[in-house]
Amino acid sequence: MAYKFIKTEVKDNVGYLIINKPPYNVLDIPTMKEMNEALDEFKDRDDLNVLVLTAEGDKAFSAGVDVADHTEDKVDEMIEVFHGIFKRLNEIPYITIAAVKGAALGGGCEVAIFCDMIFAADNIKIGQPEIQLAVFPPIALLVLPKIIPTKKAFEMILGGGTFRAEEALNIGLVNKIVELDKFDEELNNFLKQFSKLSRSALKVTKKAFRKVGLLEFEKGLPLIEDIYLNELMKLEDAHEGLTSFLEKRKPVWKHK
C-alpha cells in the first residue's frame, strides 16, 4: 500500500515502519491512521522475526502527537486513533524494536517505550513533557513503572523532564546506545541476533512474556482513557495549557 506520511519495507525477516515527516515526525491523526493500517498488515505476516519502528532524519524519532489534535473537538478521535497503535502493537506476535535517533517526546516517547526494546543513538532526548501543558500521558502511566524504577517514572511523568543517553541507559529505559554516525551499521548488527533464531520459538516466548502485561493493558487502558477524557480534559488548566502551546505563549494557570 502507498502511504503519504510513513514508509514500510521488509528486508530479509525484518519489517520496518518508518515515520516520514521530518524533521520532527509529529504524529497527527492522518499519520497515526496510516501507522494503524501498516500495523494491521504487519501483524498478519508470518515471515518476520522483528518489526522495527523508526523515523526519517536524525533530529527526532517523534516530537509527539500534534497538540492541535488535543483540542476539544478532536481529542476523542485522537485518543482512539493513537491508542489504536498500542492495541495493534500488542497483537504483533514477534519482536518490536524502536530505533530512536534524536527526540522521542510525548506520544513519540510512548510509542518507543511500548516496543519490546529501544535501540538508540547517542543524541537521544526522551521524555514525557505533557504535564507542562497540564495533561498526562496515558500509555506511559501504564508501562513506564514496569520498565524503570517507580521513582524515576514519577519524575519523568510528574516532572515533565527529559533524559539524555547516559541516564536513559542507566535506568534501563533503553537497551543500547550507539554513536549517531554508526547508527545504521550498529542497528543491523543488533538485529542479527534475532534474525538467526527460530521464528516459532520467538513467537511463543513473546506470547508467554507478554501474557500478564496484556491482561493488565486491556484492563487498565479503558480506566485511564476515562480519566483522561472525562476528568483531565474537563479541567480549565488542560485547555489553557494546550491553547498556550498553540499560541506560543506561557500558560496562565487557574489551578482548576
Q: Point out the residues that are catalytic.
A: 110, 130
Q: Distance between CA 86 and CA 92 in Å, rounded? A: 10
Q: What's phi and psi for 102, nearest 5 deg?
A: 75, -145
Q: How many CA atoms lie within 13 A of 94 on its CB side?
A: 24
CA atoms within 13 A on the CB side of 225: 16
Q: What is the DSSP letter of 172?
A: T
Q: For residue 45, give the DSSP letter.
A: -
Report the distance separating Cα 124 and Cα 178, nearest Å.
Answer: 10
Cell triple for residue 238?
488542560
Q: What three-state secondary structure class fits 174?
A: coil
132 three-class SS: helix
DSSP alpha helices (H): ranges in the chain?
A: 29-43, 75-91, 107-114, 138-147, 150-159, 165-170, 183-195, 199-230, 236-246
Question: Does residue 242 contact residue 67 with C-beta atoms inside 8 Å?
Answer: yes
Helix 138-147 with 75-91: angle, nearest 10 deg: 30
Question: Please, how many CA atoms are within 13 Å of residue 131, restricted to the half-sphere of its CB?
Answer: 13
Contact between residue 37 and residue 55 where contact means Cβ atoms under 8 Å apart: no
